[in-house]
Each structure stands twice: as structure tokens, then as C-alpha cells.
Structure 1
Amino acid sequence: MIKLCRAIILSVLALTTLTAHAADWYKVEVVVFANQDSAPLADEYWPEIKEIPVPSNALNLKPSNAEGGAYKRLPGSSLSLHDAKKRLRNSGPYKILFHAGWMQPVYRTQTPRPIHITGGEILDNGMYELDGYIAVGRGTYLHFRPNLFLSRKLTADENALLQSPINTTIENSADNAQAAALITMQASSTATSAMSNELLPAIPDILTVNLDQARRMKSKELHYIDHPLMGILVEIRPVR
């Protein structure tokens, strides 16, 4: 009798473990776009990003002709966000950098495995305009976790915009006296302005910014994740 009870308990524990690790399949569709307007550049301080971190367990999104069903690009005819993408293009200075859909198992975990994506052009520094990772897990809700990096080649005007007194004040907000002195120097004579320019931080020709925002989502709904210089449209649907 004791052996029978032990066997039943072990069976229940095994079933519970399998259920906890079971995965449902979902179709994930993502559109990533850049906001090419220059105005947001001056609204925030952008810390320098020299390299993009690479998770050791990341997967690459596979081409549509690859074998298997998971993490493989779906054909365009299977995508749902073409109209939303068209409206984006027609509504402002937005550039589509990535649009793809794929099917994948989604596990109940707080640390889902990231998928590597790239998009846009390759810039002079060898970086893609868009590079980074997307991970999808679930609990009570779906959890969408982008960690994306947008690299943008700055025009001369945009470079000057980042050198503006307002932007410099934001960067040096920890030292208000130094910021005030710098602004005063910029407003003075040509010679003094030249001196102040030497104190300004060097602005790279290519600016890289990061979007790292975990978001809880409901399936079968279109979601939008915002950033001053980029945005993401996401739709996740269960696969029956």
C-alpha cells in the first residue's frame, strides 16, 4: 500500500512538472520602425553605446525555406500587419526597418530565450540600423521583451542639435554650476564660444540608442511600444 501511494505521488509530481514546462505555440508578428524626425534628438540625453551585448543562449530567426516549424520566417501572405505598416509610412517620417512573423513555443518562464533580429541598412561603422533581441514568455499574460538597438547616421544639423546648450545642460545636470558656466560661454564672443566648444562632449556621426521595455500583452491584440526615436508594433496569436 505504501509503495502504491508513493507511486501515485511520484506520478502526480511528474505530471505537474511536465505541465509547468509545457509550451503553447504562438504566431508572433513584429514591425519595428525608426522615427526620422530630428526634433526628439534634443529632448533627451543619449548615453554612448559602443557595442551591443550578445546573449549566450540567443537563437537566430531562420529563413522561410528552413526545415522545422519554430523560429522560421513566415511568408508575406501569412502576415497580418501590412495595412498597419502602410499607415505608418503614410503618417509621418517613419522608416520600416523590420517586419516578420514566425511561430514558436512559448513557455511559462520569466527568462524566455531571446531571438536575434536585424534590419535596415549596414552603416559605415559596420552596424545594422536595427540590431537586437526579442523574447516571448508567459505567465498570466504573455510577456514580450524587446532589447533593440537603433543606429542612426546623424546629419550635420542633427550633430549640431546634440551639441546645443539644452542638450549639454541635460548631460551635465549633476553639476549645475558647470552647466551654467558652459551655457554662458556659448552665448559670449566668438573666441569664448570656440573655447566652450572644446569642453563639449564629442558627438559621434552615428548615434545608437536602446529600447529595452518588457510589456505584458493579451493575445490577438495589436500592441504598440513607444520610444522617441523608434517604435514596435506587435501581435501575438495562439496557434490552433
Structure 2
Amino acid sequence: MSKLKHLLAPIIISSLIAPAAHARWFEVEILLFSRTQDPTQIDEDFENIEFTQSSIRKLDLIAPMLLAPSDCPEPEPIAVPVEEGAEAPIDTLEAGVEYDEFGFPIEAPIEPAEPEVVMTPEERVAHEQWLSECTKPRSYDELSQLPVTMTQHVLPPDDSSPYLLTPELLQLNDAVAKLNRSGSYKPMLHTGWRMDITSKRSMPAIKLVGGQNFGSRYTSDGWEHAIEEPQDIENNIETLDDSEALGAAVPGAQETDTELVGPSATTDGLDMLGDALLPNWDESSINAPVPEVFNPAVWELDADVRVWLATWLHIDTQITLRRSGRKSPQEISSTDEQTVSTGTLVSDAATVPYLYQYHLDQFRRVRSKEIHYFDHPLMGMIIQIRPYEKRPDIEPNTPNKMPVAE
């Protein structure tokens, strides 16, 4: 009997391990929302809550859906439109043109056109799809608002890596509808993904963002962007209105009046004055392409959700919600710091614009298929983790074997 137990033990153990191996793949669905209540009306001190941003590895599954692929060509800078009827400079017209001994331009030989690349229908569809993807923004900085539901249209052909769910796979739609009807809550992000969930050491945190991008107005520390004042040419001219200032700005203007005689002398003096007022003036920069610059994105909602598997499923989540408001200058360490950050003097107003941050940092041990709720006075998260059976790997195409003649 004992011998039979020893023989059956490997079979029994393998039968117990096999279901667990299949259950390592899971569907994780998340609904993040905020409360519409004014934070100042809540009797809680959010400023003194300690929060340390996690430094673990992060995985962004939303970026591939919203942003252009990394292999797309760089976009051309936006060219300043030329006024109608304006002629190109002579230097531009004659650049690169060669002339013969009689002064006639030499026409460059016509180079043969490159042969058109022949594509199969499948390759052409893939190429057109790639071109369409390249029209997307290059970074989060270019986006101003994100949709609430984040899903992809088509599932990948295999389960080789984590990926977002399609809309029909989401199961928390009733909860989204109830939050919308309540009027007290605002859904911020509804999404889900499939991934292989293993030990804590090997699992990254899934990076999630949602809502409005405050980056055009605020920095990541909450203050407004510094105001860059344009160069005031009129003030410079008024400053140089007297002869002493003019002499200091324009070399040679200290000469006697008898030496500045004739229109050429007057023209030279004006040219030197213009050089003094506009030292960096470049005529070619008028129609030069202007690259578009975006401030770093500061999202209304930032979240890192990390799920790992031991005996139980574990959820570790960090969420940051941002709300615009006003802050008293007395709360700033120094007047100079505030003036540089916002361009507003303390004496100009009792408060200054400020982007407040509210944090949720919670950990929980859960079972699969259960719906769990993470609560905060200003936000919340509903999450469900469902077992998923991984699809079999796609076998590579094997070449057809030729029949062997007998």
C-alpha cells in the first residue's frame, strides 16, 4: 500500500499544481472615480497626510493606445504662413543654381524615379494602419483631456504580454452608470487588462492616468508656470531718447554734428541704433518653422496599481487626485519663491492659484472574482480580479513538406 502511495504521489501533486498554473493569468478591471464635493467643506486635514511615491517598476498599457509608435518619423515643424503676394528672397531663389558661360541656368539632370514598392494586400493594410497610428500625439504632454473608458478595439492575437481589454469584456458598466446618476461622484477612469500575475518581486505597477491635463497652467509641485514677459522695445527706445544714452548704445554717436552730414550718415546711425535695440534680430527667422513646445503633463488623476499572487491575491494601490484652488501666500516659505513660480507678488492678492494634491495609499489581500472598494473622502476605486485561461501559443508556420516518392 505504501508503495502505491509513492507511485501515485507525483500524479496527485501534478493534478493539484496544474489548475494553479492556468489561473496565473487574470483579468483586472478597475473603476476610478472622484467625489464632486468641495474639499474645503470636508472636516479633514489632507495637508498633513504623509505620502511617499513608490519607486518600483511601472508598466503603461494606455500609452500604446493613445500615442504614436516610437518608429514613426518626426513631424515637420509648423511653418509660419507667408503673406499673399510676398516674393521669395533672391538668395533663396538662386541657392544651388549653376550657370553656364552665357549666364543661363544649368538644369539639373532628371533623376530616374525610384521603383514603386510592391505590397501584398495584407502589407498595404498594415502600412496604412501604421501611417494612421503615426498621426497620434507623440507624448502625454500634447493631450488635454482623456476619455473615461480606456479600451482597445481588437485583442492581440496571443497572450504573450499584458494588454488592455476590449469594451465588451468590461463588467463594471452598471457601477459606472450608477455613479453618473448619483450626481455626487464623477467617473474618472474605467479600464481593464489581462496579464500573468506572479510573485511580488517580479510584478510591476500598472500606471494609470485620467481626467484633465493641468500641465498647461501648473507645474507638478502645484504652482503656476512662470510668466515670461516679452521684451519691451518701446521702453528701450524711451530709455535711449537722450543723447547720452544714445551715445552709449550706438558706437560712434559721440561724433560732432558736423561729422554726421548727409543721408548716408543718418542711415548708418539708424542701422547702428537698430542693432543696439535688437541685438539678436535675424531676418531669416521671420518665416522659419516654429517647433511647438508643450509643458509636462500634470494629470487630474494619477494611479499606480500593483497586483501580485502568493497564497492570496494582493492589491497595493497609490492614487493622486488633483484639484485647482487658491493658496495663501503665508503658506509659502518665501516671497521670492512665490514670485518666481507664479509671477504674482504677495501684495497683489490674498491668495494665489494652486493645484492641490490628495493621496490614497492602501493595501489589501483579496480573493479572485470578488468586487472590492477602496475608499477616500475625495475619491474611490472599485476593482475586480477574475481568473483567465490563457490562450494557447500560436505555432510558427512550418513549410509544406514535399511528398517522398516511393
Range of TM-score over shorter length: 0.5 to 0.7
Superposition deviation, residue 55 in structure 1:
3.2
4+ residue runs over 3 A deviation: 39-42, 51-56, 65-70
Partner of 1:208: 357
- The yes-or-no answer on 1:128 pairing with 2:287 is no
1:187-226 aligned at under 5 Å gives the runs 205-226=354-375
Partner of 1:148: 319
Residue type at the aligned position of 2:200: T
Q: Which has the higher mean CA deviation after the structures are superposed, 105-114 or 134-143?
A: 105-114
Q: Which of 227, 233, 240 is the aligned partner of 2:376? A: 227
Partner of 2:172: 81
Alpha-carbon separation, structure 2, partners of 1:47 and 1:71: 36
Alpha-carbon separation, structure 1, partners of 2:58 and 2:209: 13
Superposition deviation, residue 141 in structure 1:
1.7
Alpha-carbon separation, structure 2, partners of 1:223 and 1:203: 39
- Secondary structure of the residue aligned to 2:318 is strand
Alpha-carbon separation, structure 1, partners of 2:40 and 2:180: 18
Alpha-carbon separation, structure 1, partners of 2:29 and 2:306: 12
Return 5+ residue gaps in structure 2 as ranges: 1-13, 66-151, 219-296, 332-346, 390-406
Residue type at the aligned position of 1:150: L
1:121-175 superposed Cα distances (whole Å, 9 cap, x missing partner): 1113241111121100122221111111111123x6xx69xx9xxxx9xxxxxxx
Contact 2:56 2:204 in 1 (8 A): no
TM-score calculated relative to the size of structure 1: 0.64
Task: Provide the aligned C-alpha RMSD in A.
Answer: 3.5
Distance 1:117 1:84, change over 3 A: same
Superposition deviation, residue 43 in structure 1:
1.7
Partner of 1:185: none
- Secondary structure of the residue aligned to 1:213 is strand
Distance 1:40 1:31, change over 3 A: farther
1:82-128 superposed Cα distances (whole Å, 9 cap, x missing partner): 00111111123211111101101111326731111101111132411
Q: Which one has a bigger Cα radius of gyration?
A: 2
Alpha-carbon separation, structure 1, partners of 2:359 and 2:352: 17
Distance 1:148 1:37, change over 3 A: same
Give the structure with the higher percent strand: 1
Alpha-carbon separation, structure 2, partners of 1:153 and 1:52: 22
Partner of 1:175: none
Distance 1:66 1:76, change over 3 A: closer
State the aligned residue count: 182
Residue type at the aligned position of 1:88: L
Q: Among all aligned residue pairs of Structure 1 and Structure 2, give the percentage whose two residues are the same amino acid.
A: 32
Alpha-carbon separation, structure 1, partners of 2:298 and 2:305: 18
Q: Which has the higher mean CA deviation after the structures are superposed, 220-229 or 108-117?
A: 108-117
Partner of 1:236: 385
- Secondary structure of the residue aligned to 1:107 is coil
1:30-69 aligned at under 5 Å gives the runs 30-38=30-38, 42-47=42-47, 53=53, 55=55, 57-62=57-62, 63=65, 64=152, 67=156, 69=159
Alpha-carbon separation, structure 1, partners of 2:367 and 2:352: 40
Alpha-carbon separation, structure 2, partners of 1:89 and 1:28: 22
Distance 1:110 1:153, change over 3 A: same
